[in-house]
Amino acid sequence: MTTIRTITFDCADVMVVGRFWETLLGWTLGSEPDGSDAWLENPGGGPNLLFQRVPDPKQVKNRAHLDLGPTERTRDQEVERLLAAGATVVGDHRNSDGTGWVVMADPEGNEFCVERSDAERGA
């Protein structure tokens, strides 16, 4: 058996991407003094996020991504909050009956999905 300790993002600017995810998750951002790495430690004990500086720009769609479920707002409210924080919409898969999700990207183009909240799923 193995556990996932860290999910790592390659970045040109670890602080820009790290601050975006700090805003998204509400976790506290830490960083190396030389700016090579930044991280968010999961206060719930789950996987942490690591942002490591690399010289290569992102060139293709992510092969893996995070699916996020808002806990304090609806999916649509969360999408608006993340747009204001610097995210972009890559694909809108919301349906007229309220189901679906939105594919978004952080400031360096790393994709993630915003799904309905648990409250919306239960309704």
Q: What is the pLDDT of residues 34-60, one digit of tens each?
A: 989 999 999 999 999 999 999 888 888
The span from the CA of 14 to the CA of 32, in Å, is 10
- For residue 76, give the H/E element and its range: helix 75-84
Give the pairing of strands 29-31 and 6-11.
Answer: unpaired
**pTM summary value:** 0.88
Predicted pLDDT of residue 14: 95
pLDDT of residue 57: 82
Residue 123 pLDDT more than 80? no
Which part of the chain is CATH 3.10.180.10?
A: 1-55, 65-123
1-55: which CATH number, 3.40.50.300, 3.30.750.24, 3.10.180.10, 3.40.50.460? 3.10.180.10
The pLDDT tens digits of the residues spanning 74-113 come to 999 999 999 999 999 999 999 999 999 999 999 999 999 9
SS3 122: helix
| 48-53/100-105 β-pairing | unpaired
pLDDT score recorded for residue 3? 85
In the numeric block, which tokens belong to residue 53? 């500086």
CATH topology of domain 65-123: 2,3-Dihydroxybiphenyl 1,2-Dioxygenase; domain 1 (3.10.180)
- pLDDT of res. 61: 80
Is 23 in a helix, a strand, or coil?
A: helix
